[in-house]
């Protein structure tokens, strides 16, 4: 089994860590508190040469770091961390008065130990009364020694004079890597319930096996499926301790980036598994739910907002909102219902509005191979630069392809119609466009009837908001650049030609 790069970084950090911690640590929004259970915590700290100053205890939290406690050391450089509730076990660090990480330690379950350290010899910090840290120290000493040996062998391998030397050195590297792996596996076997074992399990990932030959044919996908299926072996997603590490969340991100097919259904299958598993984790569950919500409520790729909708339907809509504040709950619910009506492949919601002359115009009355929707505001600077660009590509290409342009002015200010007309005239944007807006009377009637407005139906939370519809007014693309929309039109026309 391979171990992530962060694994080496963490276990060398006791000697080499000089990272800075912000004075005001930022914590992920809407999370549970960082402590658990009634406290019997008593961590005695002697930190020379500091006297009569505040020093801090911090921990990793997802991808970040946070300060969790502080103590003022006395004339003898001594202080005691005694929180009201126990700390969540994990990887912690002692932080100087200038917010520099001095050294790391494992926060065990008992949390009743002493630390004796000197900033001039931080690598020699002595922790007494914690079997977890005793285990960590032994492992750290071995891994540092083995790491140096492997590094030296690697340098010799690069400079090998001939094939024989190269082969010999490669064999030694394989042998020493196996020795390190065997040491880790033996440690896990002997101490299955140790925090260090949980960390080692969380950091490792399976090796890609050789491609097997089945019935005379090579199964080239087998290594991929094997690694994906075994990527989370021995990892407990409800283990809050894993949040207090620098490698768990990056491993999740790496999993989705390299092993999960980039379509909403495949993504949600993995998200759903993790969230259901994590549900009994007091910290892990809200953290992962918030992480995936933030990622897919404004996704990197078109169509992945479907993942957020599935998260909403399977978790938030079933009551998993207690950890949210009122504002966050309102935002999530409103965005979910806004996105449901404009998923790719859905018929576009009807738009019956008024043009600049006050006449009724309907989206579904426009006939063309494609319809391009632009929700914009004449007072929006970015909109004023984007509409001429859309007009240019329309005149250069889209007009001849039978594409219709439908512009919706989202501003409710009284003078925007005249401002719109002026902008259209100045930029010569009068060919091929249908300009529409909703009258105040129509808005009021819609509101009184309790009907969703077009902002909700098209998820118009920023301007410009862009959609591409096919001949039947089904949504085929949204929220892309103009160039990307053009590429999709080209691809769609090409596919029709090839039929």
pLDDT in tens, 244-299: 999 999 999 999 999 999 999 999 999 999 999 999 999 999 999 999 999 999 99
| Residue 271 and residue 393 in one domain | no
Distance CA 399, CA 403 (A): 6
Quick check: is 218 in a domain? no
Q: Residue 54 in contact with residue 71, Cβ under 8 Å?
A: yes
Quick check: is 211 in a domain? no
Distance CA 419, CA 415 (A): 7
Distance CA 102, CA 16 (A): 9
Among 129, 145, 167, which residue terminates a domain? 129
| Residue 117 and residue 190 in one domain | no
- At residue 416, the pLDDT reads 79
Closest CA to 267 of 300, 233, 230, 241: 300
| Residue 172 and residue 299 in one domain | no
Quick check: is 428 in a domain? yes
* Mean of pLDDT over the chain: 89
Query: DSSP assignment of 167-233, as one string?
Result: HHHHHHHHHHHHHHHHHHHHHHHH-TTSHHHHHHHHHEEPPPPPPPEETTEE-TTHHHHHHHHHTTT
How many domains does the chain contain in total? 4
- At residue 498, the pLDDT reads 60
SS3 content of the chain, % helix, strand, coil (to 5): 45, 20, 35
The pLDDT of 173-201, averaged and rounded, is 94
| Residue 379 and residue 476 in one domain | yes
Quick check: is 216 in a domain? no
Helices marked H in 284-359? 284-297, 305-314, 326-340
Residues in Cβ contact with 170 at an 8 Å cutoff, skipping those fewer than 6 apart: 157
- At residue 36, the pLDDT reads 45
Range of the domain at 140: 134-205
Q: What tens digit of pLDDT does each residue of 64-116 get?
A: 999 999 999 999 999 999 999 999 999 999 999 999 999 999 999 999 999 99
Which residues are bridge partners to 70 per DSSP? 56
Q: What tens digit of pLDDT does each residue of 20-74 get?
A: 454 433 333 343 444 444 568 999 999 999 999 999 999 999 999 999 999 999 9
Distance CA 67, CA 82 (A): 15
φ/ψ (deg, to 5) at 485: -60, -45
| Structure tokens given for 258 | 């390299």
Q: What tens digit of pLDDT does each residue of 455-489 get?
A: 999 999 899 999 999 999 999 999 999 999 999 99
Quick check: is 384 in a domain? yes
| Residue 118 and residue 160 in one domain | no
């Amino acid at each position: 089994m391979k171990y992530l790069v962060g694994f080496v970084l963490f276990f060398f950090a006791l000697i080499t860590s000089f990272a800075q911690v912000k004075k005001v640590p930022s914590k992920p929004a809407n999370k549970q508190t960082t402590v658990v259970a009634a406290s019997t915590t008593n961590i005695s700290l002697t930190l020379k040469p500091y006297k009569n100053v505040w020093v801090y205890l911090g921990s990793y939290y997802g991808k970040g770091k946070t300060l969790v406690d502080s103590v003022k050391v006395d004339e003898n450089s001594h202080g005691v961390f005694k929180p009201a509730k126990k700390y969540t076990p994990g990887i912690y660090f002692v932080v100087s008065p200038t917010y520099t990480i001095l050294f790391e330690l494992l926060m065990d379950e008992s949390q009743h130990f002493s630390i004796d350290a000197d900033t001039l010899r931080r690598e020699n910090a002595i922790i007494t009364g914690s079997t977890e840290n005793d285990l960590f120290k032994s492992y750290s000493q071995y891994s540092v020694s083995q790491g140096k040996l492997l590094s030296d062998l690697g340098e010799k391998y690069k400079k090998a004079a001939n094939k024989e030397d190269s082969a010999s050195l490669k064999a030694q590297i394989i042998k020493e890597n196996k020795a390190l792996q065997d040491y880790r596996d033996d440690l896990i076997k002997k101490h299955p319930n140790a925090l260090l074992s949980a960390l080692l399990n969380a950091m490792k990932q399976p090796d890609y096996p050789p491609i097997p030959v089945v019935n005379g044919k090579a199964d080239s996908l087998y290594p991929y499926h094997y690694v994906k299926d075994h990527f989370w072996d021995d990892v407990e997603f409800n283990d809050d301790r894993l949040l207090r590490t620098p490698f768990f969340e990056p491993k999740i991100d790496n999993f989705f980036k390299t092993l999960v097919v980039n379509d909403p259904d495949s993504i949600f299958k993995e998200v759903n598994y993790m969230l259901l598993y994590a549900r009994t984790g007091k910290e892990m569950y809200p953290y992962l739910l918030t992480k995936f919500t933030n990622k897919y409520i404004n996704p990197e790729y078109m169509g992945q907002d479907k993942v957020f909708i599935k998260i909403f339907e399977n978790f938030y809509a079933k009551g998993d909102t207690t950890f949210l504040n009122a504002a966050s709950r309102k935002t999530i619910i409103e965005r979910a219902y806004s996105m449901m009506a404009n998923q790719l492949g859905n018929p576009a919601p009807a738009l019956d509005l008024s043009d600049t002359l006050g006449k009724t115009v309907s989206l579904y009355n426009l006939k063309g191979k494609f319809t391009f929707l632009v929700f914009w505001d004449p007072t929006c600077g970015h909109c004023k630069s984007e509409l001429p660009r859309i007009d240019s590509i329309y005149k250069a290409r889209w007009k001849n392809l039978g594409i219709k342009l439908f512009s919706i002015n989202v501003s409710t200010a009284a003078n925007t119609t005249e401002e719109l007309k002026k902008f259209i005239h100045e930029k010569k944007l009068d060919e091929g466009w249908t300009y529409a807006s909703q009258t105040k009377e129509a808005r009021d009637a819609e509101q009184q009837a309790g009907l969703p407005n077009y902002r909700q139906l098209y998820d118009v939370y920023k301007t410009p908001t862009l959609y591409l519809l096919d001949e039947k007014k089904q949504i085929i693309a949204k929220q892309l650049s103009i160039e990307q929309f053009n590429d999709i039109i080209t691809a769609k026309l090409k596919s029709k030609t090839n039929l």
